[in-house]
C-alpha cells in the first residue's frame, strides 16, 4: 500500500477520533493520536504521517467550506445523518480536491473509494464516488491533470 493511501487512512482515523470525542478530546487528543496510534509500519515522521497531518490540519482549517461543499453535493442528506466514516472521508478528499492541484482529481476520488471500501459500509464506495464527483465538478478539479499551480 502506498504512502499516501496510508496517510489518507491515518487522516480519516484522526478526524473520526476527533469527531467522536467532540470537546471531550481536548487539545492534546490529536497529539496523543499521532504519538500512540500511528502504526509502526507508517514510519513515524515519514511520508505517510506527514501527508496525514497535512490533510487533518487542512480539514480543520477549512472545515466550514468543506462541509458546505459536501452538503451541497450530498443531495437529500443532512451532514448530521451521514456516517461519521463517510463524512470524514469526504472531508479529507474534498480538502485534497481544493488544495492539492498536484494530485489529479481522478486519483483523489479513486483513493477515497478504496478507503471507503476498507472502512465504510457496503454502500459507502458508491456514495463517496457520487458526492466527490459532484464536488470535483463544482471546484473545476476534473479539468486538472496533476498540474502544479
Query: Rounded to whole angstroms, how far apart are CA atoms 36 and 42?
Result: 12
For 37-51, the pLDDT digits (tens) are 555 555 555 788 889
Which CATH number fits the domain 3-143, given the four candidates 1.10.940.10, 2.30.30.100, 3.40.640.10, 3.10.450.50? Answer: 1.10.940.10
**Which grid cell is 6?**
496510508
**Which grid cell is 123?**
454502500
For 66-76, the pLDDT digits (tens) are 999 999 999 88
Q: Where are the domains of the chain?
A: 3-143
Residue 91 CA neighbour count, 13 Å, CB half = 30
pTM recorded for the entire structure: 0.85
Amino acid at each position: 500500500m502506498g504512502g499516501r493511501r496510508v496517510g489518507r487512512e491515518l487522516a480519516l482515523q484522526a478526524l473520526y477520533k476527533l469527531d467522536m470525542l467532540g470537546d471531550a478530546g481536548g487539545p492534546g487528543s490529536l497529539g496523543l493520536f499521532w504519538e500512540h496510534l500511528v502504526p509502526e509500519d507508517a514510519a513515524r515522521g515519514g511520508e505517510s504521517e506527514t501527508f496525514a497531518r497535512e490533510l487533518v490540519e487542512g480539514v480543520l482549517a477549512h472545515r466550514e467550506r468543506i462541509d458546505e461543499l459536501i452538503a451541497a453535493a450530498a443531495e437529500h442528506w443532512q451532514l448530521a445523518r451521514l456516517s461519521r466514516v463517510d463524512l470524514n472521508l469526504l472531508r479529507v478528499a474534498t480538502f485534497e480536491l481544493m488544495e492539492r492541484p498536484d494530485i489529479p482529481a481522478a486519483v483523489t476520488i479513486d483513493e477515497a473509494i478504496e478507503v471507503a471500501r476498507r472502512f465504510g459500509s457496503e454502500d459507502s464506495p458508491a456514495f463517496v464516488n457520487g458526492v466527490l464527483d459532484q464536488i470535483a465538478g463544482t471546484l473545476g478539479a476534473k479539468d486538472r491533470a496533476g498540474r502544479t499551480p
